[in-house]
Amino acid sequence: MAVARTRSVALVGVTGSSVEVEADVGNGLAGIHLIGLPDAALSEARERVRSAMVNSHFPWPDARITVSLFPASVPKRGSQFDLSIAVAILGAAGVVPASRIAGPFFLGELGLDGRLRPVRGVLPSVLSAAKEGDDITVVVPAANAAEAALVPGVRVIPVPDLRRLVEWLRADDFPSSIETPARPPTPGGTPDRFGAHGHPPTPAGTPDRFEASGHSRPSPPVQPHVDLSDVVGQPMARRALEVCAAGNHNLWMLGPPGTGKTLLAERLPTLLPDLELDHALEVTAIHSVAGALPPNSPMVFRPPYISPHHTATAAAIVGGGSSVVRPGAVSLAHRGILFMDEAPEFPSHVLDSLRQPLESGQVTVSRSIGSVTFPARFILVLAANPCPCAQPQDKGGECQCSPTTRRRYLSRLSGPLLDRVDMKVTVARSSRRELMADRQFVETSETVAGRVLAARARAAERLTGTPWRTNAEVPSAALHSRFRPSDAAMKPMTSCLDSGSLSARGLDRVVRVAWTLADLAGKPRPDEDETSAALALWLGLNP
């Protein structure tokens, strides 16, 4: 009987810390004792580990078993420590060689019959383990193997059950590992409407970070067929959607029911390109922690589209939880779109909770157990009716809401929140001629996405050497120094600044949109036409 050690990973949010699991089988009253800040789920591991070992036909030591999780100052939550605890006890009891289990990381929950069950957060756990050295081996449940194999330079060992693992450890021979592929595994499926690769065509000369890193651009899962050509009329809203996709700008659409606000928002993802490799790993890690990974794909390649119901709580939007803090909608929408339909119906404190992530690109959730920070850089799309009754106000409509009622209804969207929205668009009802017209000549998502991709490529080339890739990410200091438009281009904003209708934050957002309009027009810098159009979009003045 001696001390045996294994390694595992403790997750706090999407950040992992290496944990050393020590097991000592010694004299004393028989039982198992866990020390090192375990939570309730981890404390229950004692019963799961004991049943798994006995049902796998391994002797349970009739002695005092002490399991220490080091460092003790790091909270350990969840059932992913089951496998490392069981292996450490087996090593301390002499069932497996202690020298064979000291190096690898073990992740997985044990069933009572010894089977390994999948756990959340495997990708961020393996990413954290990879930072511990050059020759890292990670043992995971077979169901998590594809997700773990996304991390380059790590040897991934898929294991179906505890008994099979012990046989391999005794034989001093791990099974064949899953080699980290030269490119991330791509989900299966038939080509979608954008062609064989599932994304808009890349213009010549456009940098591709997948190929630059030795990976090929993957194919996304097949999605329900939606297309921008489904939208009838609405030229201003369609243009705003294109600008939104080209620069990752926030958008507010105001209009009566049936004008296509939701239809437009649902087609915004079809204008966005696939996620770049590093962004895809970020998004996949968040969805892994949340347990929201698609069952047919270990990696998220497409920008996520999250649309919470207006009854969602603040914890559901920004994240929360009692013992384990989970990411909310703003983090699940990271690098994608957060669409809030019927925005004034959301509680005011829920809407105002968006202000921090919109400004910083991350959200910090504070609880008594500590604070957790999640990434949250997303495109916010708000949709609202002009009044609570949602009846048309023109063309013989039945709306009887007073101007005061309408103002009170829309005032639920606070000034500080709307100050962070780059574009405001009024969506009117389509005319009879537009509704009855032949739609074969309406621009498709593929056509618009091609322009979006070209504009994003121009922005990326201009931002080379900086940590930013889209115009929406450029901070205020850079906007007014390196990327400041000419004095003539800034002239349209002077009267609004003097009158107070344009704030300092609003000025920054107007300049960012002006750069995106210039990128879409193929201009090297925005001129007065772009800044005037950007200002009109920010003020909500539809031309």
pLDDT in tens, 456-468: 999 999 999 999 9
Mean pLDDT of 270-293: 95
Query: pLDDT tens digit string along 397-412?
Result: 678 888 899 999 999 9
Question: CA separation (Å) from 40 to 34, 324, 461?
Answer: 11, 11, 51
Query: pLDDT tens digit string along 363-392?
Result: 999 887 778 999 999 999 999 999 888 776
pLDDT of amino acid 472: 97
pTM as predicted: 0.88
User: What residue ranges in 291-415 does DSSP mark as E strands?
Assistant: 305-306, 319-320, 326-327, 337-340, 362-367, 370-375, 379-384
Mean pLDDT of 128-147: 94
Query: pLDDT tens digit string along 173-202?
Result: 766 666 554 444 443 333 333 333 334 434
Confidence of residue 223 (pLDDT cuts 50, 70, 90): low
SS3 390: coil
Long-range contacts: 118-122, Cβ < 8 Å, 24+? 118/143, 118/144, 119/78, 119/79, 119/80, 119/144, 120/78, 120/80, 120/288, 120/289, 120/290, 120/291, 121/11, 121/14, 121/16, 121/78, 121/80, 121/285, 121/288, 121/289, 122/147, 122/148, 122/288
Output the average pLDDT for the chain: 88
| Residue 325 pLDDT > 60 | yes
b/e for 224-240, b at 16 or more Cβ within 10 A? Answer: eeeebbbbbbbebbbbb
Domains recognised in the chain with CATH numbers: 3-170 (3.30.230.10), 223-447 (3.40.50.300), 474-539 (1.10.8)
Confidence of residue 44 (pLDDT cuts 50, 70, 90): confident
- Percentage with pLDDT > 70 across the chain: 88
Confidence of residue 493 (pLDDT cuts 50, 70, 90): very high
Mean pLDDT of 339-348: 96
C-alpha torsion sign, points 491, 493, 499, 500: negative
pLDDT of amino acid 186: 42
- CA 141 to CA 139: how far, in whole Å? 7
Residue 180: Cβ-neighbour burial (10 angstroms; 0-12, 13-18, 19+)? middle
More confident residue, 187 or 532: 532
| Residue 214 pLDDT > 90 | no
Instruction: Quickly tell me which residue has 């005037």 as its tokens.
Output: 532
Q: Do residues 421 and 513 lie in contact, with contact meaning Cβ atoms separated by under 8 Å?
A: no
What is the token pair recorded at 500? 């107070």
Q: Which residues contact 497 (CB under 8 A, 6 or more apart)?
A: 507
Q: Do residues 115 and 160 lie in contact, with contact meaning Cβ atoms separated by under 8 Å?
A: yes
Instruction: Quickly tell me which residue has 């929950």 as its tokens.
Output: 109
